[in-house]
Chains A and B, each alone.
Chain A
């Protein structure tokens, strides 16, 4: 397989495609997970250490197209835009950002044009403003070019509860969640096919990462499991999974971690020792465990130590 990859690359690298405004390079691997619902698959990697990390996608209505997350760079956003044009001539009218993390949001700029409305959680602007400097620095280093803060496109329409967007004979239910994976997660349900883009409320394969509230996240996921959905698109992992079974690995990890961290706090152990010692729950499924477990223990500890 590796050899094949080498061979393919060696062959095609010689041919530099001519870039004209009319031609573009669409994202590859885009799959239709339900009628009119498309996902560009992500591949587990640490942010700013890889490309195409998150599952991102779009839903095609009779009137226009809604994009849900735009990828980790302008180039990824442009490739998604291009992939959309291969599927439909209808214009993009909404970009919905599930949360602030750069692997989901830094492709926004590719869609900034008249007729496109950016939608996000009411707390997304603050979250982006707080992290902007760090993201700019890391993105510039990763892309080896000086990026300007104009790469950040803030939502024009923000929500604190639930709104519905009509994209033409097709309604999307956009929901703002309580603090969970982040303090500003958004999920999107395509009512026509009952397919839900859950952003990083659900991880498969890629270890869940806590940047909001472990208690909140468990609460939101438990409440959501009673919803009747046909399919969900997790933020990481396979492009499509069944509901509510798709929530189980994330829930098991979070509840197990919470139990371990609570026990550590109760025994008087401090944060540093918790990070050095808590290496459970671990399952073979989780990728990037060594990169994110310490962070998760720290985030969980800092929250749970305030429980009475």
Chain B
């Protein structure tokens, strides 16, 4: 029996290795044309029609891990390559994960008051595939930064690990600045929302009904009444959504975050910001 087991294990390894060797050249040659089938096959047209989109990292750079260790929490960031000026700024960033059930993860809006159209957040990744951020400038141009993510890890599933903890804290919001706020300088801020962000695809095994989707739908952040960041979001956002963005405090003022979910629940948090250099 010992012999058999070793043999089986060895044969399995051999089989696996052989299969991998056979697949390797194919995978190596996999062109972006094949990878982009979901995008070119309808997604692009549905959201942008025939508008030209420049694929380059000149306007924004999307940063994502090559391999997502935990498909439920994949940290990604977008870094703007231009400042937000009144003359020209990044107005909107659309984020897509092609192979997710809802490919549009969210639409994020910025203003000149944002200072920088940088954004960091966490997303769910269902399968190997492209992730793309498309920035729209105030003068109507579209630029796309694209990366490829491997979702992996056998235990991973694009759902959270402790739903009950998230549910118990539902609606709790943490809002803070991530660096010392300086007068008239772009300052990083972080908004954390405790929310299970249920995607509506979890079947109740007793009733065989799907638990209704329940997720954060809308986020709006203002500084002293003026909008600096807002977002429409979907089920591609991880449980307990978190957003990092910038704003320019041109005086002492109040940072206000308003969050609405798909059940119409509203959550709100404020933070008093006193920038260094403010005359008091």
**A→B interface (CB under 8 Å):** 5-6, 8-9, 11-13, 17, 25-29, 46-49, 51-52, 101-103, 123, 125-126, 128-131, 133-135, 137-138, 144, 154, 179, 182-183, 209-213, 216, 268, 270-272, 275, 291-292, 294-295, 298-299, 302-303, 305-306
26 contacting pairs across A/B (C-beta < 8 A):
A9-B3, A28-B5, A29-B2, A46-B153, A101-B155, A102-B154, A102-B155, A125-B206, A128-B205, A129-B204, A130-B157, A130-B159, A131-B155, A134-B71, A137-B127, A144-B19, A216-B162, A268-B179, A272-B75, A295-B69, A295-B70, A298-B70, A298-B73, A298-B75, A305-B192, A306-B194
Cα distance A47–B244 in the bound complex, in angstroms? 33
- How many chain B residues sit at the interface, stated as a range, is 35 or more
CB-CB under 8 A from B77, the residues of chain A are 272
**Would you give the shortest CB distance from A270 to chain B, in whole angstroms?**
6
Q: Which residues of B contact A (CB under 8 A)?
A: 1-7, 9-12, 19, 63, 65, 69-71, 73, 75, 77, 120, 122, 127, 153-159, 161-165, 169, 172, 174, 178-179, 192, 194, 201-206, 238, 240, 244
Residues of A within 8 A of B163 (CB): 126, 183
Complex Cα distance A144/B161, Å? 28
What residue in chain A is nearest B153 (Cβ atoms)?
A: A295
A9-B6 in contact given A182-B161, A211-B161, A270-B75 (Cβ < 8 Å): yes
Please name all residues of chain B whose beta carbon is closer than 8 Å to the beta carbon of A213 when the two chains form the complex.
161-162, 165
Establish whether residues B202 and A275, one from each chain, have CB atoms under 8 Å apart when the complex forms. no
Q: A28-B5, A213-B162 are known; give 20 further A-B pairs, CB within 8 A.
A: A6-B10, A9-B7, A9-B10, A11-B3, A25-B1, A25-B4, A47-B153, A126-B163, A128-B205, A131-B159, A133-B201, A179-B164, A183-B162, A212-B162, A213-B161, A268-B179, A271-B122, A275-B69, A291-B153, A299-B70
Find B11's partner among A13, A134, A292 (CB 8 Å cutoff): A13
Give the distance in Å from the alpha carbon of A236 to the alpha carbon of B57 in the complex: 45
**Contact present for B161 and A183 (CB under 8 Å):** yes
On chain B, the residues within 8 Å of A25 by CB distance are: 1, 4
CB <8 Å contact, A48 and B202:
no
Measured in the bound complex, the distance between the Cα atoms of B70 and A154 in whole Å is 24
> What chain A residues lie within 8 Å of B179 (beta carbons)?
268
> Are B162 and A49 neighbours in the complex by a CB distance under 8 Å?
no
Pairwise interchain contact B120-A130, C-beta atoms closer than 8 A: no
A62 to B70, CA, bound (A): 44
A220 CB to closest chain B CB (Å) equals 13
CB neighbours (8 Å) of A138 from chain B are 154
Question: How many A-B contacts at CB < 8 Å in the complex?
Answer: 134
Cα distance, A112 to B5, chains bound together (Å): 24
C-alpha gap A48/B151 in the complex (Å) = 14
Instruction: Give every chain B residue within 8 A of A9 (Cβ-Cβ).
Output: 3, 6-7, 10-11
Contacts of A129 in B (CB 8 A): 202-205
Q: Which residues of A contact B120 (CB under 8 A)?
A: 270, 272
A183-B6 contact, Cβ under 8 Å, with A28-B1, A130-B202, A134-B71:
no
Residues of A within 8 A of B70 (CB): 295, 298-299
Residues of A near B158 (CB, < 8 A) are 134
> Which among B165, B172, B244 has the greatest number of chain A C-beta atoms within 10 A?
B165
Contact partner of B178 among A126, A130, A183, A268, CB < 8 A?
A268
Q: Contact between B165 and A179 (Cβ–Cβ < 8 Å)?
A: yes
Given A47-B154, A47-B155, A275-B69, are A28 and B162 also a contact pair (CB < 8 Å)? no
With a cutoff of 8 Å between Cβ atoms, the chain A residues found around residue B204 in the complex are 126, 129
Closest partner residue, chain B, to A216 (CB atom): B162
Residues of A within 8 A of B203 (CB): 129
Cβ 8 A contact of B1, one of A11, A26, A123, A271: A26
CB contacts (< 8 Å) of B75 on chain A: these are 270-272, 275, 298
Report the Cα distance A103→B163, complex, angstroms.
Answer: 23
